[in-house]
Amino acid sequence: MNAEDPGRIVLLTASHRVAPGLLSWPAWQTLHAADRVHCGEPEQPQLPYLREAGITVTLGVPDAQELVDACAGGRTVVILTGGEGNQPLTDGLARLAGSGRVRMPNLELLPGSYDLPGARLLDLVQVMDRIRLECPWTSQKTHKGLAKYAIEEAYELVEAIEDGDREELREELGDVLLQVVFHARIAEEDEDEPFSVDDVAATLVEKLIHRHPHVFGDETAETPEDVHAHWLRTKAIEKQRESVTDGVPLGQPGLALAAKLASRVRTAGLDVALPQGDDIGYRLLALAVRAQEDGIDPEAALRAAGRAYRDAIRAAEGVG
């Protein structure tokens, strides 16, 4: 070793969302060649695999000055951290470097493993598990008790989309996702037919692949209309429905229900006369069906009109 060589500090980051032991080849090479390896996290999932590979890991991380001294003479010291790094240590090294009084080792950031797309969903599932076990409110909730929140969150998501508010959209998507994860967590506790969020995801993946043979199979689809037609065909085969009205939830808002039924009738090529009556409901039904035929979402159109009405009310009140 060269006594004048200040050495090297390697901050090796490893994501806890990746299976332990799955480190990059440069990470393993650096670990084996290092003079010292430190880790400040006793529960770091990589530790058993490092020890199995013959790498000695010292628990605890030296402070900045101690670390600089340990590198003197050309030594390499590796600090194993989570994906977020070690902010106190890097701040301390920055202060030493800024003082101009210390010859600093080379500092290297080496990602040992990366999060895959969607990896933060693992955190969400883990957090939901803990909340379900420890939160007095969450631990008592049932599917029926949560049903109204799913509807509320869906409406809030639609509002964020219509407002064009990107920050609000991101938050509301999270709230809708929470409902899915929450219900899946409750479903795990069912004594007769339990299922988990993995089962929910697996069912969805299977459905998406089956209904997109032009992506995952040999079929072709040149237009969005081709895709939609195939989707309807495969869905009809899967569901084995007796009527085109099967699967249309009657509990949805009235205009949306009327438009959905009209869409099913038009897609099936049926000639169905609208029921007649003097009630306002029949007139609204006719308007909703006509809007759907014209390619207009009557529910969205009424919401837009309602917003305009709200703005007019606020203007009359002198509210900005």
Rounded-to-integer distance, Cα 91 and Cα 89, Å: 5
Q: How far is CA 38 from the centre of its chain?
A: 33
Q: What is the pLDDT along the chain (320 residues), one digit of tens a residue?
A: 666 789 999 999 988 887 888 899 999 999 999 999 999 989 888 999 999 999 999 999 999 999 999 999 999 999 998 877 788 888 998 998 888 888 899 999 999 988 888 888 989 999 999 999 999 999 999 999 999 999 999 999 999 999 999 999 999 999 999 999 999 999 999 999 999 999 999 999 999 998 888 889 888 888 988 887 777 777 777 777 778 898 888 888 899 999 999 998 988 888 999 999 889 999 999 999 999 999 999 999 999 999 999 999 999 998 86
Residue type, 123: D
- DSSP secondary structure of 124-156: HHHHHHHHHHH-TTGGG--HHHHHHHHHHHHHH
As beta bridge partners, residue 58 has 38
Rounded-to-integer distance, Cα 224 and Cα 235, Å: 16
Q: Answer whether 284's CB lies under 8 Å from 290's CB.
A: no
| Class in CATH terms, 8-111 | alpha beta
- DSSP secondary structure of 70-94: HHTTT-EEEEEE-TT--HHHHHHHH
Considering the entire predicted model, what is its pTM?
0.70
Domain ranges of the chain: 8-111, 117-195, 241-320
The CATH number of the domain covering residues in 117-195: 1.10.287.1080
